[in-house]
């Protein structure tokens, strides 16, 4: 199927600044751009809106703000590679590169915005310290930015936050306060503490300085790959896509910017369709970073103006994307970070066949236990892990006979379990479960057929 891809370590970054005369030039001042034709395509409402609220603001971020942010944060952030992948290009049908923000110091792009915000605090504000509410990457972004600037950071996280994320935040010297069972509880507590201690609140997405900081990803993309046709970006509250859109469309209005949301929480898609900020029902998803029920007042008008298309991906598509990126590309990505690739891989985006497309791989902070489950289920769906339940006579030699058939087909036995009680087998029989490592669905079918041919009742278990 796919040709051999260039190993990550050997890939070169794409050329810097545009060289050809026809390449788009950097804008020198902010200008209002015509709306690209594709923006006129209406977006269907897919969410059951529960509440519409909050009027959006006028656009509060300019191209110049993003350039200023880049100068400010340059020495603290890594200019992540935008790696072309021949293998994923062959698999998806477009010329695909991955902007690897999972390689950032905190494992996601989040420190860009936090640094830009924190670097603009007054001396008095720096002395008082900063506070944020987060269950994930924003916590580490704020903690890292504060630590690098000698500022005290307090992060309020829900009590349910995985230990790895709590520790990751503490490692950057932040004080972590665990409070409540949801992000909303943590947010409310953070606001109380902010009032009590005079801390500066660092919002995860809805702040012009945060948006400008995240937009520096867009400036890097333009330099690394000046001839891009489209950029695919996951959307949570919209801070990242808003910043990227301003940075890129101000220079080249023809670049299509496509947003991707989790099917469970499509708040931006619903808001754009309704023409106003529209809150959707909260739901849990493996893309927890983008599970934002209500988008921002600052981010929404930018998305409304600049974004060409918003698509959604479901849980299975996200999980599969995580597995493909890891197995084929050797890139470890969390659910939200894989959403963009999931959309391309599942052909959710119109008109990108054969085009130069960059997917922003936004983060890699995945819980190892979740990763293990995703991989096991992925292998099971592929048929590379198979569970066979076989009814055999309850007498010596029965299991050996099955094992011999399995061995003949050169499959590997991972586990054998016996059940004499909770089974439909008769008293003279027993049910044996073989967990096998195989070469795929076809291989499993061959083994099942052969076992049945030997007069055993065999059932292939379906993965969840
Ligand atoms: C890995 C990852 N990707 C994407 C997003 C979405 O970013 P935004 O809220 O700026 O739209 C987040 C937000 O936390 C994230 O952690």
Higher pLDDT, 389 or 26: 389
44-110+207-375 is a CATH 3.40.50.2300 domain: no
Residue 55: predicted pLDDT: 54
Query: Does the beta carbon of 108 lie inside 6 Å of ligand 1?
Result: yes
pLDDT at 56: 56
Say whether pLDDT at 228 is over 80: yes
Among 362, 364, 370, name the best residue to mutate to test ligand 1's pocket (greatest count of ligand atoms within 8 A of Cβ). 362
Task: Write phi, then psi, for 235 (nearest 5 degrees).
Answer: -120, 130
Q: Mean per-residue pLDDT for 243-261?
A: 97
The ranges of the chain annotated as CATH 3.40.50.1100 are 44-110+207-375, 111-201
- 66 and 246 Cβ atoms separated by less than 8 Å: yes
Please report the atom of ligand 1 found closest to the CA of residue 108: 1
Burial of 453 (0-12, 13-18, 19+ CB in 10 A): exposed
pLDDT exceeds 90 at position 102: yes
Q: How does DSSP assign 60-85, residue by residue? A: ---HHHHHHHHHHHTTTS----EEE-
Q: Residues of CATH 3.30.70.260 domain(s) within the chain?
A: 383-460
For 142, the 3-state DSSP assignment is helix
pLDDT (tens digit, 9 = 90+) per residue, 115-165? 999 999 999 999 999 999 997 899 999 999 999 999 999 999 999 887 878
Provide, rounded to the nearest whole percent, the portion of the chain with pLDDT above 70.
Answer: 88
- Neighbouring-strand partners of residue 200: 130
pLDDT band for position 227 (cuts 50, 70, 90): very high
Order the strands of the 309-313 sheet from edge to edge.
82-84, 95-100, 356-361, 230-234, 256-262, 309-313
Looking at the predicted structure, is the pLDDT value of residue 3 above 60? no
pLDDT of 66 higher than 70: yes
- Map tokens 């916590």 to a residue: 139
pTM of the model: 0.85
Q: Which atom in ligand 1 lies closest to the alpha carbon of residue 210?
A: 10
DSSP code of 35?
A: P
Tell whether ligand 1 has an atom less than 6 A from the beta carbon of residue 362.
yes
Over residues 17-57, the pLDDT tens digits come to: 333 334 454 443 333 333 333 333 333 333 343 444 445 57
**pLDDT at residue 161, as a whole number:** 85
pLDDT at position 47 is: 37
46 or 180, higher pLDDT: 180
Fold observed for domain 111-201: Rossmann fold (3.40.50)
Rounded CA-CA distance 163/180 in Å is: 15
For 400-464, what is the HEC assignment?
HHHHHHHHHCCCEEEEEEEECCCCCCCCCEEEEEEEEECCCHHHHHHHHHHHHHCCCEEEECCCC
- Start-end of H helices in 330-394: 335-345, 368-382
Strand arrangement, sheet containing 200-201: 175-178, 153-157, 130-133, 200-201
> What percent of the chain has pLDDT above 90?
80
State the closest ligand 1 atom to the C-alpha of 214, by its place in the atom list counted from 1. Answer: 10
- Select from 3.40.50.2300, 3.40.50.1820, 3.30.70.260, 2.60.40.2220 the CATH code of 383-460: 3.30.70.260
Answer yes or no: is pLDDT of 433 > 80.
yes
Is the pLDDT score of 458 beyond 70?
yes
CA dihedral 376, 381, 386, 392 (to 10 degrees): 130
Q: Give the residue carrying structure tokens 């190892």.
A: 368
Least confident of 261-265, 282-286, 302-306: 282-286
Is 236 close to ligand 1, i.e. is its CB under 6 Å away?
yes
Q: How far is CA 4 from CA 11, 87, 98, 265, 335, in A?
A: 13, 6, 16, 36, 25
Q: What is the mean pLDDT of the chain?
A: 88
- Residue 180's Cβ-side half-sphere holds a number of Cα atoms within 13 Å equal to 14
Distance 191 CA to ligand 1 centre (A): 21
Ligand 1 and 259: CB distance under 6 A: no
State if residue 134 touches ligand 1 by the CB under 6 angstroms criterion: no
At 422 the pLDDT is 83
Residue among 98, 114, 307, 363 whose CB has most ligand 1 atoms within 8 A, to mutate? 363
């Amino acid at each position: 199927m796919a040709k051999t891809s260039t190993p990550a370590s050997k890939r070169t970054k794409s050329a810097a600044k545009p060289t050809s005369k026809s390449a788009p030039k950097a804008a020198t001042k902010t200008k209002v751009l015509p709306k690209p034709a594709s923006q006129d395509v209406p977006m269907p409402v897919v969410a059951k809106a529960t509440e519409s609220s909050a009027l959006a603001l006028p656009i509060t971020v300019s191209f110049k703000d993003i350039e200023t942010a880049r100068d400010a944060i340059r020495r603290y952030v890594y200019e992540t590679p935008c790696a072309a992948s021949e293998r994923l290009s062959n698999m998806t049908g477009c010329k695909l590169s991955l902007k690897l923000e999972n390689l950032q110091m905190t494992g996601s792009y989040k420190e860009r915005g936090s640094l830009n915000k924190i670097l603009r605090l007054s001396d008095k504000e720096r002395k008082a310290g900063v506070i944020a509410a987060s269950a994930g990457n924003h916590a580490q972004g704020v903690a890292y930015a504060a630590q690098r600037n000698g500022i005290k950071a307090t992060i309020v996280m829900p009590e349910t936050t995985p230990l790895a994320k709590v520790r990751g935040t503490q490692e950057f010297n932040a004080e972590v306060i665990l409070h409540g069972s949801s992000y909303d509880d943590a947010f409310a507590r953070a606001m109380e503490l902010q009032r009590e201690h005079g801390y500066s609140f660092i919002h995860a997405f809805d702040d012009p300085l945060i948006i400008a900081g995240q937009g520096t990803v867009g400036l890097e993309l333009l330099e690394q790959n000046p001839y891009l046709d489209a950029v695919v970006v996951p959307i949570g509250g919209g801070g990242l896509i808003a910043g990227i859109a301003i940075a890129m469309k101000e220079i080249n209005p023809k670049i299509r910017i496509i947003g991707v949301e989790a099917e469970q929480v499509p708040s931006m898609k619903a808001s754009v369709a309704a023409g106003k900020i529209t809150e959707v029902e909260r739901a849990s998803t493996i893309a927890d970073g983008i599970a934002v029920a209500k988008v921002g007042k600052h981010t929404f008008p930018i998305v409304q103006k600049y974004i060409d298309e918003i698509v959604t991906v479901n849980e299975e598509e996200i999980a599969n994307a995580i597995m493909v990126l890891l197995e084929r590309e050797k890139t470890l990505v969390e659910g939200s970070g894989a959403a963009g690739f999931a959309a391309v891989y599942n052909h959710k985006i119109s008109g990108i066949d054969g085009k130069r497309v960059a997917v922003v791989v936004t983060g890699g902070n995945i819980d190892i236990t979740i990763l293990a489950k995703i991989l096991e289920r992925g292998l099971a769906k592929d048929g590379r892990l198979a569970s066979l339940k076989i009814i055999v006579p309850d007498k010596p030699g029965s299991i050996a006979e099955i094992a011999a058939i399995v061995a003949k087909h050169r499959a590997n036995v991972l586990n054998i379990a016996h059940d004499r009680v909770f089974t439909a087998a008769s008293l003279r029989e027993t049910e044996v479960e073989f967990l096998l490592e195989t070469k795929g669905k076809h291989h499993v079918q061959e083994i099942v057929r052969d076992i049945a041919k030997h007069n055993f009742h065999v059932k292939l278990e379906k993965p969840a």
